[in-house]
Amino acid sequence: MWEAANKPLVPEGRAEKEGKEYAESAPTLKESEHPYLTGAAKGLAGGYADTLGFVRGLTSPIGVAAMGLGALGKSRELWARSLSLHPASLREASALKAHSKLSKVHEHSQRGYHS
């Protein structure tokens, strides 16, 4: 069951297969003449294949569900933020701030502090 939930829905593509094969293959005689270039080319091919595999892995049922839940949480956060920016709640927030400032001024004046 776990394997089925993690199996990507998109099959492995040609570029991913070829990149993986090239990265894992032994260097040819011509490639061994330039070991640094061969190492860089094989490293880039392996990185490309791994990146494609990672992106393909995001299409598994668990990956899709995780992305969906993340988007749901983000939309809930945006919805809550939009409610807090409603003009009525902004008026209430500014009224609470003003009341708080007046309370502090009154408290300071009772203690003998001057602002």
Residues 53 and 104 in one domain: no
Number of domains, the chain: 2
Query: What does DSSP assign to residue 85?
Result: T
Task: Say how many CA atoms lie within 13 Å of 84 toward its Cβ.
Answer: 7
Return the pLDDT at 62: 84
Residues 108 and 58 in one domain: no
Q: Which residue has better confidence, 91 or 2?
A: 2
Question: How many residues does this entry show for the chain?
Answer: 115
Angle at 25 between CA 23 and CA 26, to 5 degrees: 120
pLDDT at residue 98 greater than cutoff 80: no
Mean pLDDT to the nearest integer, 56-73: 82
Q: Which residue has better confidence, 98 or 23?
A: 23
Return the pLDDT at 40: 93
Return the pLDDT at 50: 92
- For 108, the domain range is 85-115
Q: Which of 5-9, 15-19, 87-91, 93-97 has the lowest mean pLDDT?
A: 87-91
Residues 14 and 49 in one domain: yes
Residues 78 and 89 in one domain: no
pTM for this model (two decimals) = 0.52
Return the pLDDT at 64: 84
- For residues 15-37, one letter each, b for 16 or more C-beta atoms within 10 angstroms of the residue's C-beta and e for the rest, the string is ebeebbeebeeeeeeeeeeeeee
Residues 61 and 26 in one domain: yes
Closest CA to 105 of 93, 90, 91, 115: 115
